[in-house]
Structure 1
């Protein structure tokens, strides 16, 4: 309620300022899910390439030590690729569980009547 010496315009400006402050406090900024999805993609790519290159490195080291020139590298690359696929699947499961905890279970889209 405005004070007796306060004019109506001042009271409206004061009320508007308080309403704006309340709106600023209560409004939530939407989360940037595009950036989060991009980071998940880069993380999976890093896991895949990392496993491949680590297998390549171990295979090359076995080739030098054991003297079985191409076979150590071939087996190392295949093992590294297999392990990186397994690690990527495990990482994707963890990421899916994290998103499901945050957003809830996935929902179906409403039926599209324009397909006819």
Structure 2
């Protein structure tokens, strides 16, 4: 069976409607991808805060040990202070991210458990 012939205006209207539907679908997919990339960037920022604080504390502690001659004390103290600083910076970053999400009206969602990771 063949389709009944449609006028040129009907065909153009149908094509425009299909194009606008496709564009709307692509925009929603793009928005989801950008949100995922932003979340990944924020996670990397928190990880960098955690490692950076410890490494800076280690470097400062090692410098104190080198110049003051207190070999293990400065390094251990620097690592502990760097760890405390990195946890505080990560907490502050997470609070800022949550405040931005609440301001934009996004409700946080729980991450579903993956049953495959148990094996």
Bin for the TM-score computed over the shorter chain? 0.7 to 0.9
Larger radius of gyration: 1
1:47-94 per-position Cα deviation (integer Å, ceiling 9, x unaligned): 000000000000000011101111110100000000111111100000
Q: Which residue of 1 is the match for residue 113 of structure 2?
A: none
Q: 1:107 to 1:94 in 2, by over 3 A?
A: same
Runs of 4+ in 1 over 4 A off after TM superposition: 24-27, 105-108
Give distance in 2, aligned partners of 1:99 and 1:70: 43
Q: 1:60 aligns with which of 59, 62, 70?
A: 62
Q: Give ranges in structure 2 of 5+ residues lacking alignment.
A: 111-119
- Deviates most, 39-48 or 24-33: 24-33
- Deviates most, 22-31 or 52-61: 22-31
Q: Which residue of 2 is the match for residue 3 of structure 1?
A: none
Q: Which residue of 2 is the match for residue 11 of structure 1?
A: 9
Aligned residues: 102
Give distance in 1, aligned partners of 2:6 and 2:20: 21
Residue 34 of structure 1: how far off its partner (Å): 3.0
- Deviates most, 55-64 or 11-20: 11-20
- Deviates most, 14-23 or 55-64: 14-23
Q: Give ranges in structure 1 of 5+ residues lacking alignment.
A: 1-6, 109-116
Q: TM-score, normalised by structure 1?
A: 0.73
Give distance in 2, aligned partners of 1:43 and 1:106: 19
